[in-house]
Structure 1
Amino acid sequence: MESGGKAPSGPPKDKEAKPAVVQQHPKLLMAARKGHWTPLNVLMGATPPVVHAVPPGGLINIVIDDEEADVVDNSATTITLDVELNNVLHVVASSGDGDEFLESARGIYCKAKHLLDARNKKGDTPFHCAARAGMLKMVTHLICLAKAEGGDDRVKAALRKQNEQGETALHAALRLSDKETVRAMVHELWVADPELTRFPLASGTSPLYLAVSLGREDIAEGLHEQDPGLSYSGPNGQNVLHVAVLRSTSMTKNLLKWNKHLSKQGEQTNGSTPLHFAASCGFLETVKCLLDAEESLAYQCDNKGSFPIHEAVKEKQVSVVCTLLKICPDCAQLRDAEGKTFLHVAAKQGYAKLFPPVLQVLLQEKQMFAAIMNMQDDDGNTGLHLAVEAGILETVCFLLWDKEVMLNLSNNERETALDLSQRMRTPGVLFGLGRRVSIHKLLVHADAQYGVHSKTRIPELNEEKEEKRISDSTQTIGVVSALLVTISFAVAFTIPGGYRTDDDPKVDNIKGGMPVLVASHSLQAFIIANNLALLCSAMATISLMYAGVTTVDISMRMKAFVMSIFFLNSSARTLAAAFALGMYATLVPAAGAAVTLTVIGTTITLLDVAWFTYMTSKDQLVLRKRMGVGVALKRFTLLVLRGALACLWPYVIIAGFLAYITLWSK
């Protein structure tokens, strides 16, 4: 036999040569796949093919002489084969379990007994291949062949061989889709080797772990019933309970009955126990089950010092956190490697929904509540520090609710919560509803103090960044401002009700060319509102002009930008009022329609005002327990009035002018 083509003589010098692989003849492979023993017998008796080192490309060209294989063309044939080709007994074992396949397997075994438990490239034996293919008769047949050769010891040695994944034929059988086939295959393997469920011995995926991970509780229970001393191991230092808590509470209970010590074993990667897994996934019933079996599990940390309650908070499992606090109240004071309690973790993540139910549980232990709320981590930060740093207003509100939360504790940087709030505020133009602004105002109103240091750490203004923000905003706001100016100017010459002509009969000395409804107070109010809207939109446009000029000082540009926003909002609200008044003046003969449209227009206009006023004032209600109901309500009322006046001042002017005109006309 000769090598053909341009196959390399050996691997490159910088790479190791792969193990030699014997390539099978195509007809041999076809016969093995079909279970045809006669051609198999003839072909296996042929001269063995030459062994070649596998080149880096993964494919080789070899020439096989088919002279003894009853090939018509007696000349040599060049064949390209995949190097992962299984040996012939593997192929027969996985292809079928009819009589012809069983006969072929026996014939192959008789010619080469070492193939019975030989491994292919993946480390699989024929037992693996037959079990994975669901060939029950073939598995039984192979077991009989092994037993005939060397008794039970030979059978056990063959069945206990593991592939590269550390799995036996039993693992392959457990992955079959048909449950009845699985049961029959497992039973057959167990009869042949009652201790097969104990492999792998040290670490790796045990058959029990695999069965539980696949959700096959009945199979898992059967494995334990057959061999109570079976292996509980799993991958990466886990045990079967790690996967059971993620699959089934009933299976978890069974495992705790079989081996209670499984609950204390941490996985190799980061030391997480089954309770860590269950808590992070939010499986409440499983958590209760584990704690009922061993309450001390709540006090066992992983390699990072994180306890189950920390993991539950990180994954936002509120019900699990509350359950842990009810069953083991002391776990509220457990600290991780950074000295953080579960409260620090929750505050840092900004998970505000956790606080109402958790605080309700903690308040049952008033003395412990104060200690927990004011605990400091290794950096000296309390939960309030971290909540302020994260910028989550809702979390800060919950922490400020109770007087037990101390506002003026300093961290290792001598910063109080107010210092952090001041430092975290972004300098420049800020919107009134910005969370950083709201947090700072709330702390100030709660009488929080700065730390004992010479200077408050206020970040410097990035002028270049602020100029870009203003420039980008002025383009959009300028379009809206110009549009409002145009509308107000056009409406001034389109009076509701139209104008009188010289041919119209004179009424109340109203001459031609004058508005028909000139004597109506609603029309007069409309004119005032429209003119005020025109004035405000013009002021907004002028302010934007100064804000967009780069030669103007940045501080003046910032003030001009804020003024433009203020006048733009006022113009929009005033224009809405003008629309409502104009509709009322036009439809006054139909009183019902006029009133309805006016009410709707006014309501829509005031919704924005009500929302803005409430959002800028509501946080003060949080302080009613800390500052007292009277003080909190007083501040809330003042803020509401100030916000309402800032939004509704155009309406005050309109009403004032209308009242003056009415009184003057009398």
Structure 2
Amino acid sequence: MSTGQLPVKLPKEEEGNGDPTIPATILVASDREGCQRLKDVLNKEDATTMVMVMPTLLTGNNKQCEEDAKPHLPNLPRMDPRLLMAVRNGDSMALHHLLDNHSEAHPHYIVHMDDGSVPPPRTDMAEEGLDHRACGSITRIMAVPPPPATTEVSKEDADDRCSSYTDGTTLEGLPAYVADVDDGTDPENINKKPIPGFAPSQGSPLDGVTCCERDSALHVVAACGDSEEYLACARIVYSKARHLLNATNKRDETPLHCAAKAGNVGMVSCLVELAKSEDRGAERVRDLLRKINKFNETVLHGAIRNDNKMLVEKLMREDPELVCLPNPRDGTAPLYLAISLRRWHIVFGSELLLASFKQSSYAGPFRRNVFHLAVSRGAALKELLEFCRRESLPFVHLLRQPDQCGCTPLYTAASVDRLDKSFSSMVIRFMIRHLGPRRCILRHMTTEGPTKLLMEAEESALYQPGPHASYPIHMAATRGLKGVLTVLDKFPGCATLSDGSGKTFLHKAVEWRKYDIVAFVCQNNPRFASVLNVQDVDGNTALHLAVYIEDQPIFNCLFENRQVRLDLTNRHGLTVLALAALNLEERTFNFRSNPQAIIFKTLLIVDAPDSDTRFNDDDDTNSDIIDNQEINERMKAEEEKLSRDITTGTQVMGIVSVLVATVTFAAAFALPGGYRADDHTNAGTPTLAGSYAFDALIISIALAFICGLLATSSLLYYGVPMVDFSIRFKYFNASMHLLQSSVKSLSVAFALGLYLAMFPVAHQATITVCVIVSIGLLYGNVEIRQTIMVMKTVSARIGFQGALQLNARTLRLHYAIIKAIFNKFWSFVLIFGLPAIRKINPPK
């Protein structure tokens, strides 16, 4: 039967470290019988004996052993809870008592389980750190010094030598001994064989560390406080274990790191004084202060993170060159860290800023410097620039220094410089959006910000390219109008700069849908006339991009400027009209109010030039542009997606249409004013019948009911899957218009009903309700608004008189306006028109 083996590394003493060793005994048992015998032996030992079980991976009949035990080898001993409590609470008396009364550790026992199918351990196996097994026996390993001239000793000699070291005397460089104890043999009547390289642990409480952070006792006391009690504890620990002053924890931090991070100024002073008291004290202090932890930070970084100005100044007095650490390629400079954490009283209130610039230590991650960071820290950039000028510090080269991505500080400033979120800024945004960027509005815009500050400090940085060969003006155009105004106000020549793809800042503004920038450029300003028709490497102008992204407000803004040419073609030979037509061809179904449809209609009205290649099927270029198979697949996928979306919408529309029909049906038989009595000539008829308002109420109720039923019927037709989708789509459009008319008619009926019931007794309330309902009826008239915008855009392009002329071009516009008005208000014509006709021509 084969058994798996796990390598077991026996601890070896490092050369020259001076770690002491003590006598130890290790008992190794194999099978169940041996384990039971070992238990009997352990029961006779002292209760403080430590037992460690080290099982092996077994197969066959002993699989239960594999589940019951897992291998585990400790690296460092755990800290004594009494010691941890003493150092954390700063209890120097308890700490002193614990260390003075500490006794040496008892022998360590290791129980090794096996099936007994392998031979006993050998000396060479112990030396090589291989798996040690004993076949049905107990093996004892003892760390005792051997006689000088022999490799085997008798039981009496071994016992004498073991007893000579129980008084606390330490042993250095002593080999261990292994002995095999067979069944029926007295474990004491054996010979011991040496195991070279085995040295048990010292067993001092100060050798223990915490379980998570692996902190020593000095780490703990350094981080917990700096009162006299804690300082006394630190001195006690140092007196017992001086090497702990330079020991590191899991984060490669010394006790001085922990004290600095906690802001314990007194503890830092104490640890520094302890280091100075050693041989070569100045060198020890310097090495301790410059120790770099796992995160490439020194104790100065910890003091900055704690926001302790006093501690920062003390550390810099001890070692002024701390500001240079770590290396700029490895970590973050202390000054960069202080600015990133907004520790302004440390940056501008201590010697950190001046010392860092004198030592050229201002680097951060990704090869950035402090100016890259200061642009996003409010007023810090202005103070930093003023300080550098006042102290005559060299800083201009930092403004031209690119980071890892190629961004200079000015390029970074352009990416963050925008209007704040104050109320005045919100008003300016609203006015620019709806009134355009007029001069009176732009004068109230503040240009103060990081872009202006860095631009005044180093003007040439505006012409230094950044990522993708773009310039700060391109980055500013992607963020808002403020940065563009700041740059172009003093350097209008930046407007013609092109990036690696041939795009100007106007192309970028269109791509990022920055309407305010486009409106500012299109104000017929002669300075920007050369930018309006610039083509990128693909031949696209700003108007091409506006058509491509289907942004109607930006398109209208560019289209209204008569200097924008409509006949330019891009690399594929497409004009703006051809590109707009291509957008429509790639869509199976389009609502007439969609931006792409409005853009295409606007270009048709002004008779924009078309592209010849769009209709040439034999042209190779056209075949590359329009892949019919790809378009068909895209149209099919779009049809399926549109069908799913509309199906979801019809569920809500069906509920609304049925609800409107139900309400109007009930309203028809609950008219205001009541009914005539039975003794009247027209018994059972409404008492208000014959008045203009009552007739309008009846017509509105009837229209709401009929339109609701027709909308429901159209939705039923749409739900039939065997009908072609194009036909179903027409039914859906019809149901949507009918439902809108039904809801509007119901709103009118509500207002007329209140008028008839309340006007005789509450005039003002009735009029208020009617006004509110009238305003609400204007909601949802997007088509009319878009048609008016088209009229305005066309008038700006061809003139108002030209737009009013009746010709083949303008008839499309006039027809669109009349159609939009009729679709939205035809029900109002019937509701208020028919009763008026009846009043004018009463029936005879």
TM-score (norm 2): 0.64
Kindly report which structure 2 residues correspond to 1:203-602, keeping only aligned pairs within 5 A, or say none: 203=329, 204-221=331-348, 222-225=351-354, 229-230=358-359, 231-247=361-377, 248-254=380-386, 256-257=388-389, 258=393, 259-268=395-404, 270-282=405-417, 284-314=448-478, 316-357=479-520, 359=522, 364=525, 366=526, 368-425=527-584, 427=587, 430-455=590-615, 460=632, 461-462=635-636, 463-486=639-662, 500=676, 503-504=679-680, 516=687, 519-520=690-691, 523-524=694-695, 526-528=697-699, 530-577=701-748, 596=767, 600=771
Q: For 1:663, give the aligned amino acid.
A: N
Q: Name the % identity.
A: 36
Indicate which of 195, 200, 216 corresponds to 1:87: 216
Q: Deviations over 1:282-336 (max 9, x none)?
A: 275222211111012223333443433333344x343123212223323333344
Aligned position for 1:133: 262
Distance 1:473 1:355 in 2: 36
Equivalent in 815, 821, 824 of residue 644 of structure 1? 821
User: Secondary structure of 2:535's match?
Assistant: coil
Paired amino acid for 1:124: E
Residues 111-120 or 37-46, more deviating:
37-46
The residue type paired with residue 736 of structure 2 is I
- Partner of 2:530, secondary structure, is helix
| Other structure's SS at 2:53 match | coil
Query: Structure 1 residue 145: deviation in Å?
Result: 4.0
Alignment check: 8 A CA contact 1:580 1:597 kept: no
Paired AA for residue 5 in structure 1: M
Residue 622 of structure 1 pairs with residue 793 of structure 2: yes
Cα pair 1:580 1:598 within 8 Å, conserved = yes
Please say if residues 259 and 268 of structure 2, whose CA atoms lie closer than 8 Å, have aligned partners that are also in contact: yes
The one-letter amino acid of 1:647's match is K
Q: Deviations over 1:188-220 (max 9, x none)?
A: 323322322222244321122222223233422
CA distance in 2, matches of 1:96, 1:585: 83
CA distance in 1, matches of 2:782, 2:558: 25
Aligned to 1:200: 326
Contact 2:328–2:364 under 8 Å retained in 1: no
1:160 match:
290
Can you list the C-alpha shifts for 1:124-168, whole angstroms capped at 9, x where unaligned?
233323322333333334334444422544432332222222222
Distance 1:66 1:470, change over 3 A: farther
> 1:170: how far off?
1.7
Question: Given the superposition, is the C-alpha separation of residues 139 and 553 from structure 1 closer, same or farther in structure 2, using an over 3 Å criterion?
Answer: closer
Q: Are the structure 2 counterparts of residues 223 and 7 from structure 1 closer, same or farther at C-alpha, using a change threshold of 3 Å? A: farther
Cα RMSD after superposing both structures: 4.5
CA contact (8 A) 1:332 1:342 kept: yes
- Kindly state the Cα deviation for residue 233 of structure 1 after the two structures are TM-superposed: 1.8
Residue 604 of structure 2 aligns with an amino acid whose one-letter code is: V
Give the 3-state SS of the residue equivalent to 1:560 in structure 2.
Answer: helix
Q: Which amino acid aligns with 2:401?
A: Q
Give the number of the structure whose residues are more often helix, by fraction: 1
Moved more, 347-356 or 395-404: 347-356
Q: Distance in 1 between matches of 2:751 and 2:226?
A: 88
> What one-letter code is carried by the residue in structure 2 that aligns with 1:444?
L
* CA deviations over 1:231-278 (Å, ceiling 9, x no partner): 12222322222222222133431465332222222223x122222333
Alpha-carbon distance in 1 for matches of 2:677, 2:776: 35
The one-letter code sitting in structure 2 at the alignment partner of 1:436 is Q
> 1:383-424 CA deviation, whole Å, 9 max, x = no partner?
333333333322222222312223343333333333443343
- Structure 1 pair 218–560 and aligned structure 2 pair: CA distance change class (3 A): closer
1:188 maps onto 2:351 in alignment: no
Secondary structure, aligned partner of 2:495: helix
Residue type of the alignment partner of 1:171: H
Structure 2 unpaired stretches of 5+ = 1-23, 27-49, 58-71, 111-142, 144-164, 170-202, 419-447, 617-625
**Higher-Rg member (1/2):** 2
> Structure 1 residues 41-50 or 287-296, which shifts more?
41-50
Aligned AA for 1:554? F
SS at match of 1:371: coil
Check the 8 A contact 1:584/1:595 in 2, yes or no.
yes
Deviations 1:68-109 (A, max 9, x none): 69xxxxx999x9962743334444444444556556655665
Q: Which amino acid aligns with 1:235?
A: P
Distance between the aligned counterparts of 2:518 and 2:504, measured in 1? 14
Q: Is the 8 A contact 1:170 1:207 kept in 2?
A: yes
76 and 321 in structure 1: CA distance in 2 versus 1, 3 angstrom threshold: closer
- Looking at structure 2, the residues matched to 306 and 354 of structure 1 have their Cα atoms a distance apart, in angstroms, of 18
- Cα drift, residue 497 of structure 1: 5.2
Residue matched to 1:58: none
Distance 1:125 1:616, change over 3 A: same
Q: How far apart, in 1, do the equivalents of 2:541 and 2:261 lie?
A: 57
Say if 1:115 and 1:169 are closer, same or farther in 2 by CA, change over 3 A.
same
Deviation per CA, 1:441-475: give whole Å up to 9, x if none.
33333443443324496955435444444544444
Distance 1:438 1:648 in 2: 21
**Secondary structure of the residue that 1:121 maps to in structure 2?**
coil
Q: Secondary structure at 2:596's aligned position in 1?
A: helix
Conserved 8 A contact 2:522-2:561: no
Secondary structure, in 3 states, of the residue corresponding to 1:122?
coil
Matched position secondary structure for 1:4: strand
Which consecutive residues of structure 1, in runs of 5 or more, have no partner in the other structure? Answer: 11-16, 53-63, 70-74
- Aligned CA distance change for structure 1 residues 596 and 18 (closer, same or farther; 3 Å): same
Q: Counterpart of 1:82 in 2: which secondary structure? A: coil
1:607 aligns with one of 770, 774, 778: 778
| Cα distance between partner residues in 1 of 2:401 and 2:647 | 60
In structure 2, what is the Cα distance between the partners aligned to 1:160 and 1:589? 92
Q: 2:781·2:824 contact (CA, 8 Å) conserved in 1? A: no
User: What is the distance in 2 between the residues matched to 1:530 and 1:638?
Assistant: 30
Aligned residue pairs: how many?
629
Inter-partner Cα distance in structure 2 for 1:322 and 1:619: 29
Report Cα offsets for 1:418-442 as digits up to 9, x if no partner.
Answer: 3443343474554443333333333
In structure 2, do the counterparts of structure 1 residues 512 and 216 end up closer, same or farther at CA, with 3 Å as the change threshold? closer
- Assess if the C-alpha contact under 8 Å between 2:257 and 2:298 holds in 1: yes
Tell me the secondary structure at the aligned position of residue 5 of structure 1: strand
Aligned residue number for residue 61 of structure 1? none
**Are residues 166 and 653 of structure 1, via their aligned partners in 2, closer, same or farther at CA, if it must alter by over 3 Å?**
closer
Q: Distance in 2 between matches of 1:86 and 1:491?
A: 82
> Using the alignment, how far apart are the partners of 2:564 and 2:797 within structure 1?
9
When residues 44 and 233 of structure 1 are mapped into structure 2, their CA distance, relative to the original with a 3 A threshold, is farther
Q: What letter matches 1:351 in structure 2?
A: K
Q: Do the aligned partners of 1:128 and 1:168 also contact (CA within 8 Å) in 2?
A: yes
- Aligned 8 A contact 1:587 1:593 in 2: no
Q: Distance in 2 between matches of 1:380 and 1:47?
A: 84
Separation in structure 2 between the aligned mates of residue 117 and residue 143 of structure 1, nearest angstrom: 11
**Which has the higher mean CA deviation after the structures are superposed, 331-340 or 162-171?**
331-340
| Amino acid across the alignment from 2:340 | S
